[in-house]
Structure 1
Amino acid sequence: MSPQLSLPLSGFRIAVTSNRRSEELVEALERRGAEVTHAPLLKLAPLDDEAVLVEQTKKLIELRPETVIISTAYGLRRWFDSAEAAGLGHELCQCLNSAKLYVRGAKAHGAVRALGFHATAVAKDGTTAGLLDQLANEITGQTVAVQLHADSDHGLQLALRELGAARVLKVEPYRWLDTSSEQHLSNLVEGICAAHFDAITFTSAPSVHALLAAARSRNRTAALIRSLSERVVVATVGPVTAAPLEAAGVTGTLVPERHRMGAMILQLVGHLSELGTLSTSTVFGDCALRGRTLSLNGERCELSPAQTEILRRLMEASGSVVTREELVSVLPSTSSNHALDMTLSRLRRTLPHPDLITTVIKRGYRINV
């Protein structure tokens, strides 16, 4: 096997949807051999005008909430940078020192400790639901401040009022810019539906919501959900990110035990290396299928998604005959016998050796082992 093919993600095509820290993620995947498409679904909006955040901070300092909720590490740091620039850093520190701090997840907890604060409680699962469980019977009649993560967090304010909070103050250190009207997002949606990617990564729930909204506006929701469940591996950074995918009906989503980007990468590498690679010995030499890249005795060729599905099924049979009905079943749901014939014909022309696939008259096809 060539040095390039020995890399754990060589032959695999992965879509990266994040904007923040995307360079780090793309580099890590490419270093392991993946072909990466960067298609950010959302971008962090630059806070050219700090007035709104400063006013929110001043109001919090004035009203001295008994409880403050910290949602994200980046949001907390961004909040304090703004407060320091406005000359409010010391007063904000005093305010948070006198309040009970409830924190959503380990990363946010690390940022809280780094700034010298003590957390009253931390939602270990990193979810808003886990945080609300800890706040039950704790905030009745109180003024509660919440550092929001994104637009999708606004339901949290209503939930806090339902738990008895007398007043809820919001702090929005950053906002997301929707890029769903851009052409690259249309390409991403269609690419997922057609399984042009072997895997896709998500590092925030708002990005998931943006993809689902884009698919919905293009009448591609059903095809997208089916492909994400059956053909494209979905890697998420944690349960908060995975939740909207699972709610939409996506199954098999990868969620690492440690909610970190590094853990997500390692889990994805392990999954694709174990389940995404097939090898068999043939009369033409060793054959390996990694993602949509076939290597036969060191000679490589790139396959289409449909060609990959057919070859994968034949290789899984290890030389046994696979019927036409079985092969049609692995193609998209609208496929027919004619579509199978066309795909097989193109596949044979693409292979280094057309006779790698043998026709068994009146029975089906098999790999020539």
Structure 2
Amino acid sequence: MRALEGKRVVLTGSRKIEEISALIEKQGGISVQRPIQETKKCSVQELEPNIRRVIEDGTDWAVFTTGIGSAVLFDAAEQLNLQQAFIEALIKARIAVRGYKTAQIMKKYGIEPAVIDDDGTNDGLLRALEPFSFDQQNIYLQLHGEPVPKLVQWFEERNADVFQVLPYQTVVPNLNVVYQLIEEIINGTVDVVAFTASPQVRVLFKTAEKLAVLPQMIEAFQEKVVAAAVGKVTGSELTERGVQRVIVPEHERMGAMIVAIAAHYKKINV
């Protein structure tokens, strides 16, 4: 018997749906597609002032928090014929990055970070930044899909001037799909909910709170439905909201998450 035989596994993201569904079905599972979050990239025209600001005015620090956000900025700079000038401006600054994907983007463009987090989280990034002084420093802060007041406040408390850049936005493609998923979780008509990005967690839990069914949903995750996360950051979003049982793969990959889910069921079915 295959590990996920008959298990209904929900995918809450919109990326690589077909590939991940094939992995689920190979393990005998049923892929349930419930995209509750999408990434909408900003246009080149929208990003041009943000790129020119660094080129023309410079910055003391540039802080990059996601690989996709960093890539969007470099791609936009290239389309504007400003990529080399953008890179040269960043090389003059101190660079801090969160996450291995972000570090890979910097390496691609020959930029050496002064600071790298130790665990892929915002808290890890702030721990790594703690030894430095930011008094009267300019911070070019690339955020991940939505405002992050905690990061901005941390720098401002240290008397820094923060310029926020959001190269992409997190959007909910269809709110009715979120309602449907909440009902399925509470009723236990799905077995696993696999989160591929932390905004998906925030969308689901905020919506459940607005519907006044958050306690019921958390209870369902404890008793009937397994929560899985693609990595530590997404996993911490779940645990911080009271979900105690979260499957997180050792390697932050979607395929590794499905393997980890299968391993969980193999273990309990022995």
Q: TM-score, normalised by structure 1?
A: 0.69
Aligned twin of 1:335 = none
Paired with 1:203 and 1:153, the residues of 2 have a C-alpha distance of 19
| Aligned residue-pair number | 269
Provide the residue aligned with 1:175 in structure 2. 169
Name the residue aligned to 1:119.
Answer: 113
User: For residue 38 of structure 1, what is the amino acid of its counterpart?
Assistant: Q
List per-residue Cα deviations over 1:135-156 (Å, max 9, x = no partner). Answer: 1241232111111112152431
| 2-structure distance, mates of 1:160, 1:21 | 35
| Equivalent residue for 1:210, pick from 200, 203, 208 | 203
Is the partner of 1:151 in helix, strand or coil?
Answer: coil
Report the CA distance shift for 1:26/1:136 in structure 2 as closer, same or farther (over 3 A).
same
- Which ranges of structure 1 fall in alignment gaps of 5 or more residues? 1-5, 279-369
* Code of the aligned partner of 2:9: I
Q: Does 1:31 align with 2:26?
A: yes
For residue 3 of structure 2, give the secondary structure of its aligned residue in structure 1. coil
Do the aligned residues in 1 keep the contact of 2:37 with 2:173 (CA within 8 Å)? yes
Find the residue that maps to 1:179 and give its secondary structure. coil
8 Å CA contact retained: 1:106, 1:124:
no
Contact 1:157–1:168 (CA<8 Å) still a contact in 2? yes
Note the C-alpha offset of 1:87: 1.6
Q: Which residue of 2 aligns with 1:158?
A: 153
Q: Is the 8 A contact 1:195 1:231 kept in 2?
A: yes
1:228 pairs with 203, 221, 224, which one? 221
Bigger shift: residues 57-66 or 194-203: 57-66
Partner residue, 1:83? 77
- Detail structure 1 runs of 4+ shifted over 3 Å in the superposition: none
Q: In structure 1, which of residues 100, 109, 118 is the aligned counterpart of residue 103 of structure 2?
A: 109
Give CA-to-partner distance per residue, 1:209-268, whole Å, 9 cap, x none: 100112112221011001112211111112211222212211111222322323322211
Equivalent residue, structure 2, for 1:264 = 257
Q: Name the CA shift for 1:62/1:137 in 2 (closer, same or farther; >3 Å).
A: farther
Q: In the TM superposition, what is the alpha-carbon distance from 1:184 to its structure 2 partner?
A: 2.1
SS at match of 2:105: helix
Structure 1 residues 93-104: aligned runs within 5 Å: 93-104=87-98
Aligned amino acid, residue 243 of structure 1: S
- What is the distance in 2 between the residues matched to 1:270 and 1:106? 25
The aligned counterpart of 1:67 is 61
Match of 1:18 in 2: 13
Aligned to 1:288: none
Larger Rg: 1
Counterpart in the other structure of 1:142: 137
Unaligned runs of 5+ in 2: none
SS across alignment from 1:36:
strand
What is the CA deviation profile of residues 149-184 of structure 1, one whole-angstrom value per residue up to 9, with x for unaligned ones?
A: 12152431122212332x112221111112352x22
Q: Which of the numbers 54, 58, 62 marks the counterpart of 2:52?
A: 58
Secondary structure, aligned partner of 1:146:
strand
Amino acid in structure 2 at the alignment position of 1:28: L
What percentage of aligned pairs have identical amino acids? 29
Shift of 1:7: 3.1
Q: Structure 1 residues 240-249 or 33-42, which shifts more?
A: 240-249
CA contact (8 A) 2:115 2:129 kept: no
Distance 1:260 1:164 in 2: 38
User: Structure 1: how far apart are the matches of 2:217 and 2:169?
Assistant: 27
C-alpha offsets along residues 32-64 of structure 1, whole Å, 9 cap, x if unaligned?
2210111111112253x4332111111122221
- Contact 1:65–1:99, Cα closer than 8 Å, also in 2: yes
Which TM-score applies when normalising by structure 2?
0.93
Select the structure with the greater relative contact order (CA < 8 A; seq sep ≥ 6).
2
In structure 1, how many angstroms separate the alpha carbons of the residues matched to 2:233 and 2:147? Answer: 11
Equivalent position of 1:331 in the other structure? none
AA aligned to 2:8 is R
SS of the equivalent of 2:22 reads helix
> CA, structure 1 residues 135+222, in 2 after alignment: closer, same or farther (shift >3 Å)?
same
Residue deviations 1:90-148 (CA, integer Å, cap 9, x gap):
11110121122111122221222122221222112100011011112412321111111
- Aligned equivalent of 1:238, options 226, 231, 234: 231
Superposed CA RMSD in Å reads: 1.7
Q: Measure how far apart 1:18 and its partner are.
A: 0.8
For 1:9 and 1:115, how far apart are their aligned partners in 2? Answer: 42
Kept in 2: contact 1:41–1:178 (CA 8 A): yes
